[in-house]
Amino acid sequence: MTRKALRYNRCFNPLRTPRAAIQSPPMSTSSHAPAESPKSFAALRHPQYRVYFIATALAMMADNIEHVISYWMLYEKFHSPTLGGIAVLTHWLPFLLFSVYSGALADRFDRRRIIQVGMGCFMLASLGWAVLFYMDAVEQWHAVVLLTIHGMAGVLWGPASQLLIHDIVGVKDLQSAVRLNSTARQLGILMGPAIGGGLMLAFGPPAGLFINVLIYLPLVLWLWKTPYGKLSAPKPQAADAKAYTVRTGGFADALAALRLARGNRTLFSMIALAGISSFFVGNAFQAQMPEFAHDLGTEQADHSYSMLLAANAAGAFIGGLILESRSLLQPNPRSALVLTILWCVAITGFALTANYPLALALMFVAGVLNLAFNAMAQTLVQIHAPAPVRGRMIGLYNMSNNGLRAFSGVTVGILGSVIGIHSSLALSALLLLLCTSILLAFALRAKL
């Protein structure tokens, strides 16, 4: 190993620290201090986070309102399954291609401004839809452009938002903040369709989308004033800056970030967990829910379909509230992996059951488990990532967790056309269970 490499490993690569340091994240400043009992809704005890939580919940709801109105209008206009597929690709592919670059931007620049740019993209997309629907001038290429802008907005929002809540609440209350943000997202998923449908009926699609633009404003305005989010991460010395340089934001930089992560078993395991769970299952079963509802034998498939989707979102929302109210399941890599295994069991049971009430119950449980393990994995990534590249590691996590969902349509949907959707979902969940068990053994080797 060269002298330069040795200097980098000693000074600027916390991922290659002694094994004891890797196993002990900076959760406490003293090993002899008595452990303080976790508090319920700990993140909400920070005044600035309370405002951010409310403003973020509104923005997440606005995101779903736009989906409801724009997807309905596109269906009415074109009746194109291809355009529906493009909508999925434009939503997830930007995460796959640009998440690491977005995380690097959050490491280098003011997080508040990056989030504002993301909100601006959301608002531009809603405004563009509103104008095109009002003029009855929408064409398919318009839809591709606006859907891509919407996807890029989410890419910009993700890492900068996670770094911002880290700045606000610190390490101690980080999981609470991450879990509450995930709970707010589920609230948006539950409320967005109802409010979006109500705006369409009351004002029409164009006016509803104009109103939707205003829902993003509280977050944009709050970000002008908050003192949090300024660049605070220590910069590496010039001699070692190359190790942290992002060149293109593509797969080469993702691999470089993964090489940085592999020296820490917890960090590597949580990023890998996000990737395999998204690749094998993700949320692909939601797109197949009409067929599941039909096969469950209910008289009104449309009603049972919406109930199954609502059960999954309600499980995540209510589960988040319960976990926060009791401050349960503190961040631990083994717990995250075990929760994922239980999620696989719930998804497999849902895929194989022919009983509709049981299917509803399993969707609810799956929602609770999905929120629990995702929030825990994301928290562990933030805790274990070195400060100079924390945003980059969060970007890599988002790339795995969101970008690879584009391929779950293959493992569940396309395979389902060959062997049946029930068999494909069960097989995908069992493969995920096997891979997660291997990851669990890999992560636990650090304790030996």
Is the pLDDT at 402 greater than 70, yes or no?
yes
Task: Compute the average pLDDT of residues 94-105.
Answer: 88
Start-end of H helices in 262-300: 265-280, 284-287, 289-295
Q: For residue 377, give Cα distances in angstroms to 42, 67, 118, 382.
A: 18, 27, 24, 9
Structure tokens at 292: 């599941």
Of the listed ranges 31-35, 358-362, 425-429, the least confidently predicted one is: 31-35
pLDDT at 238: 41
Contacts for 448 with CB less than 8 Å, ≥ 6 apart: none
Q: How far apart are alpha carbons 355 and 361 in whole angstroms?
A: 10
Q: How far apart are alpha carbons 72 and 318 in whole angstroms?
A: 28
Is the pLDDT at 32 greater than 70, yes or no?
no
What percent of the chain stands above pLDDT 90? 30
pLDDT at 343: 95
Task: Compute the average pLDDT of residues 132-137.
Answer: 92
Say if CB 257 and CB 386 are below 8 A apart: no
Q: How far apart are alpha carbons 377 and 335 in whole angstroms?
A: 9
pLDDT band at 267 (very low <50, low <70, confident <90, very high): confident
Tokens 């074109």: give the residue. 78
Write out pLDDT tens, residues 364-379. Answer: 999 999 999 998 998 8
Diameter over CA atoms, the chain: 72
Is the pLDDT at 346 greater than 50, yes or no?
yes
pLDDT band at 225 (very low <50, low <70, confident <90, very high): confident
Is the pLDDT at 235 greater than 60, yes or no?
no
**DSSP assigned state of 411:** I
- Residue closest to 398 by CA, chosen among 7, 5, 98: 98
pLDDT at 209: 95
pLDDT at 120: 96
pLDDT at 239: 38
pLDDT at 84: 63
pLDDT at 291: 75
Is the pLDDT at 299 greater than 60, yes or no?
no
Q: How far apart are alpha carbons 374 and 195 in whole angstroms?
A: 27
Is the pLDDT at 111 greater than 50, yes or no?
yes
How wide is the angle at C-alpha 268 spanned by C-alphas 266 and 271, nearest 5°?
105
pLDDT band at 11 (very low <50, low <70, confident <90, very high): very low
pLDDT at 251: 64
- Residue closest to 308 by CA, chosen among 353, 373, 339, 344: 353
pLDDT at 83: 67
Half-sphere exposure of 81 (CA within 13 A, CB side): 1
Task: Compute the average pLDDT of residues 85-103.
Answer: 81
pLDDT at 301: 53
Comparison of pLDDT for 88 and 158, the residue scoring more: 158
> What would the DSSP string read from start to end of 64-133?
HHHHHHHHHHHHHHH--HHHHHHHHHHHHHHHHHHHHHHHHHHHHS-HHHHHHHHHHHHHHHHHHHHHHH
- Residue closest to 375 by CA, chosen among 222, 213, 225, 173: 173
Q: How far apart are alpha carbons 366 and 345 in whole angstroms?
A: 9
Structure tokens at 221: 């305005």
Q: Give the SS3 label for residue 363.
A: helix
SS3 content of the chain, % helix, strand, coil (to 5): 80, 0, 20
pLDDT band at 85 (very low <50, low <70, confident <90, very high): low
pLDDT band at 19 (very low <50, low <70, confident <90, very high): very low
Say if CB 332 and CB 265 are below 8 A apart: no
Structure tokens at 123: 């608002």
Structure tokens at 288: 């197949």
Amino acid identity, position 390: R
Q: Which domains does the chain have, with CATH numbers?
A: 42-230 (1.20.1250.20), 248-448 (1.20.1250.20)
Contacts for 223 with CB less than 8 Å, ≥ 6 apart: 112, 113, 115, 116, 229
pLDDT at 327: 79
pLDDT winner (highest mean) among 24-28, 125-129, 415-419: 125-129
Q: How far apart are alpha carbons 378 and 352 in whole angstroms?
A: 30
What percent of the chain stands above pLDDT 70? 81
**Average predicted confidence (pLDDT) for the chain:** 80
pLDDT band at 184 (very low <50, low <70, confident <90, very high): confident
pLDDT at 387: 80
Amino acid identity, position 171: V
Is the pLDDT at 51 greater than 60, yes or no?
yes
Q: How far apart are alpha carbons 1 and 35 in whole angstroms?
A: 41
pLDDT at 298: 62
Is the pLDDT at 361 greater than 80, yes or no?
yes
Question: What is the Cα Rg of the chain in Å?
Answer: 22
